[in-house]
Amino acid sequence: MSEKEPHPPHPLLAAYYDKMEKRPAFVRAIFDRTARHYDRINAIFSLGTGRWYRRWMLRQAGLKAGDRVLDIATGTGLLAREAAAIAGPAHVTGLDMSAGMLAQCRRTLPIALVLADAQQLPFADESVDFLSMGYALRHVGDLDRAFEAFRDVLKPGGRVMILEIGQARYSLARTVLRFYLGRVVPLLSGVAASKDSGTLMRYYWDTIATCVPPAEIISSLKRVGFSDVRQQTSLGVFHSYTGRKVS
C-alpha cells in the first residue's frame, strides 16, 4: 500500500533550503541560534498581542485547572506559561525540537520539558487532556501526520488548540502586513537582536505568505478524526483552531 499524500503547510522555500528533507534541520538550527533573543523579537512580531491573548484563547478553548497539558513547539514557553497559570505548572509539559529554545524556557518556567518532534510524540496514547500549539504549525512537515500524533496522545474528549497567524483578508491590510512583517520586523530584529534573528523573521513572513488557507487546516483536523472543529479570527490575521477528540 502506498503512503498517504503529504499535506505540508507551505511549499519548499528555496531561499532557505533546497529540499523538503532539509527543512527540519534548518528550522532547528535557526531557532537554536536565536533562542536567547527570541522573547525580544517576539515582542516586535506580535503586533501588541501577548499574554492576555494567549491566556484568553486557552480559556476560550476550554482549558481548566488540573488539566494535563502538552504544549507543542513550546519554544521559550510563551504559551506554556499561560497554560501553567490556568492548569498549574505541575500539569504542563512543553515539547520542542530546539534544544536552545528549551534551555531558555527552563531558565524561567518550572514545567517538564521534552526535546522531540511534533510528528513523533514520545507520550503514551490517551495521556493528555489538552494539547496546545502557538504559531508553529507552519514548521511541521505534514499537517495530517502532526494532527494524527496530536489526536493519539489526547484522551477521549480531550481538546486541541492551535494559534496561528495568516494573511489578511483585504488587499490594503495584506499590504500593510507584508510591509510590517516582511520588512520592518526583520530589520528591527536584526538591529535589536542579531543577524540570525532578522533571518528568522524573514523566514516567518515567508511561511505566513505561502501558508495554506485556514480551510485546509480545518479539513486536515477533520480528516484525522477531530470533531467540533472551529476557527476564530482576531484582528483579521490571528487565527485559532480548536477541536475535540471523539469520546
Instruction: Decide if 198 contacts 190 (C-beta within 8 A).
Output: yes
Instruction: Decide if 87 contacts 65 (C-beta within 8 A).
Output: yes
For residue 36, give Cα distances in angstroms to 75, 78, 102.
11, 13, 10
150-181 as b/e, with b when 16 or more CB fall inside 10 Å?
Answer: bbbbbbeebbbbbbbbbbbeeeeeeeebeeeb
Which 3 state secondary structure label does DSSP give 245?
Answer: strand
84 annotated as belonging to a binding site for a ligand: no
Instruction: Decide if 6 contacts 20 (C-beta within 8 A).
Output: no
Which 3 state secondary structure label does DSSP give 234?
Answer: strand
Which amino acid is present at 212?
V
Instruction: Decide if 68 contacts 94 (C-beta within 8 A).
Output: no
96 annotated as belonging to a binding site for a ligand: yes
The Cα–Cα gap between 34 and 16 comes to 16
71 annotated as belonging to a binding site for a ligand: no
CB atoms near residue 205 (< 10 Å):
19
142 annotated as belonging to a binding site for a ligand: no
Write out the binding residues for S-adenosyl-L-methionine. 76, 96, 117-118
Binding-site entries: 76, 96, 117-118
